[in-house]
Amino acid sequence: MASLEERIARLEAESEIRKLKARYLNACDAKDVEAIRACFTPDAELDYQPVGKFGPDGLIEAFTRIAVGSPIVDVHQIHNGEIEIVDADRATARWSLGFSTYDPRTGGFRLIGSFYYDEYVRTADGWRVSKSRHEPRTIVDGTIGEGGVTARSILG
C-alpha cells in the first residue's frame, strides 16, 4: 500500500486536474482566450474534431474566429472524469462532455455528446494539458424559430 503522503499527493493531483478541466471549459464559455491558453503546455497536441487538429495557437485562432466577438452562447458540461495518475508528473483522463451552442442571430443550435481523452503534465505553474483528443459520439444541429424547433442528427 502506498504511504499516506503518496495517497494524499495523488488525491491533490486529481483535484488539481479536475479544477484545470473546469477552468478550461469555463474559460471557453466566457470566451477568455488567455485563460484558455494558460491551460495547455506550449507544445500541446490537440485533436478537436470536428473543428480540427492544432496546437494551442491554432486552437486560439479557431476559437477567436468562431466565437469571440459573436453573440454565440456556448455551454460546456463535463462529467464522469476518470483520472489516472501515472506518476508524480504525468496523468491521463477520460471525460464525458455535454456541449450546446446557440446563435441568436440565426436561431441555430448544436448539441454534442462526446468524450475527451487527455494527457497532463505537471509544470512549474501546475498541471497543464499536453495532449487532448475530442471524440464526438453524437452531433445534432437544429434551429429554433417561429415555426418551432427543427433538428437533425449529423453524427450518431
- Residue 65 burial (10 A CB sphere; 0-12, 13-18, 19+): exposed
pLDDT at position 100? 98
pTM of the model: 0.93
How far is Cα 106 from Cα 102, in angstroms, rounded to an integer? 9
User: 4: which residues sit within 8 A by CB, 6+ positions away?
Assistant: none
pLDDT at position 81? 97
Spatial contact of 135 and 122, defined as CB atoms under 8 Å apart = no
pLDDT at position 1? 74
pLDDT at position 155? 83
- Residue 31 burial (10 A CB sphere; 0-12, 13-18, 19+): middle
Q: What share of the chain is helix, strand, coil (3-state, %, to 5)?
A: 30, 55, 20
Q: Is 116 helix (H, G, I), strand (E, B) or coil?
A: strand
Splitting the chain (156 residues) into consecutive groups of 10 residues, what average pLDDT does each group show? 92 98 98 97 95 95 92 96 97 98 96 97 98 97 95 89
pLDDT at position 31? 96
